[in-house]
Amino acid sequence: MSPLLKAVFLLLITLLQSLSLAAAATNLFIKSKAAYYPNSSQNGTSDGACGYRSFGANLNGGDVSAASALYRNGVGCGACYQVRCTRSDLCSDNGVRIVLTDSGASDGTDFILSQHAFAEMGQTADSGKSLLDLGWVNIEYRRVSCSYPNKNIQIKIDESSNFPNYLAFVIEFQQGDKDITSVQLCETVSSTCKLLDRSHGAVWAVVSPPTGSLSVRMLLNGGDADDDNSEEESWLVPANNIPANWSPGASIDSGIQMN
């Protein structure tokens, strides 16, 4: 092999190794602790800080969680994580996939799971009961994609809305592993857009909203829980619009999914 080809070959090997290490780094587990809501029902809470209401209690089969640092002032709402406990005699290898729906902390834990999700980390139903008896466990976790088969993103008009003076809505069934960092509300006819405020959690709101049929534009970013600027931003524009005569409690099927 000529010196030039050998140099190119070594360069390619080095590049492939770097790419492999980068890919592996994105899948690394982070060590922490997890507890559970001691006074909750088996599923999640209907009054979580993300503002999902009853949707948050039953989302993902009730496998939901509160978090403190991962909540990120509401940006973390809707993010999914694989959480698995580390006791080999009780814990399964896969653990449980949870959706973040609330903010909360308990004695240095990163997650406060629903009782259902906490027990799901066990190898068996009996192991799950033993985990619940412990109250908290050492865990490891990583960010994963959210998946809701046969579901498009839903725009749910919040009950606090007051037509036509105040409009607030929640974005439900947020797929993929990217964060929604900004939302614009646009007049369909004129394409004039207004940047919305994050009222709290996953609730986006505007006083004196535009009139007529309205479209929503969502800015997607990264997916890395530790770095909001880790990837290039992109806008996602639903296919369906909020009707001109919107009303509190209504749900609009966006007609699209997040990748």
How confident is the model over 174-228, as pLDDT tens digits? 999 999 999 999 999 998 999 999 999 999 999 999 999 999 999 999 754 444 4
Report CA Rg, the chain: 21
pTM over 0.75: yes
User: b vs e for 66-90, b when ≥16 Cβ sit within 10 Å of the residue's Cβ?
Assistant: bbbebbbebbbbbbbbbbbbebeeb
What per-residue confidence (pLDDT) applies to 1? 55
Average pLDDT, the chain: 86
Flag whether pLDDT at 77 surpasses 60: yes
In the three-class reduction of DSSP (H, G, I as helix; E, B as strand; rest coil), residue 15 is classed as helix
What per-residue confidence (pLDDT) applies to 223? 53
Distance CA 125, CA 252 (A): 38
Q: Which of 56, 237, 239, 249 has the alpha carbon at shortest distance from 167?
A: 249
Average pLDDT over residues 34-63: 86
Distance CA 174, CA 158 (A): 17
What per-residue confidence (pLDDT) applies to 170? 97
Q: Are 157 and 169 in contact (CB under 8 A)?
A: yes
Of the CA atoms within 13 Å of residue 167, those in its CB half-sphere come to 26
Beta bridge partners, 124, equal none
Record the tokens describing residue 205, joined without a space: 């709101």
Residue 54, Ramachandran bin (φ over 0: left; ψ between -120 and 50: alpha; else beta): alpha
Largest interatomic CA distance in the chain: 75
Q: How many helices (H) and strands (E) does the chain have?
A: 4, 15
Sheet arrangement for strand 193-195: 193-195, 179-187, 214-221, 234-236
Distance CA 245, CA 88 (A): 56
What per-residue confidence (pLDDT) applies to 173? 95
Record the tokens describing residue 3, joined without a space: 């010196």
In the three-class reduction of DSSP (H, G, I as helix; E, B as strand; rest coil), residue 194 is classed as strand
Domains (ranges, CATH) in the chain?
A: 29-144 (2.40.40.10), 154-253 (2.60.40.760)
What per-residue confidence (pLDDT) applies to 231? 59
Flag whether pLDDT at 25 surpasses 90: no
What per-residue confidence (pLDDT) applies to 247? 97
What per-residue confidence (pLDDT) applies to 20? 34
Distance CA 191, CA 186 (A): 6
Flag whether pLDDT at 14 surpasses 90: no
Flag whether pLDDT at 7 surpasses 50: no
Query: Is the model more confident about 86 or about 26?
Result: 86
Query: Is the model more confident about 57 or about 23?
Result: 57
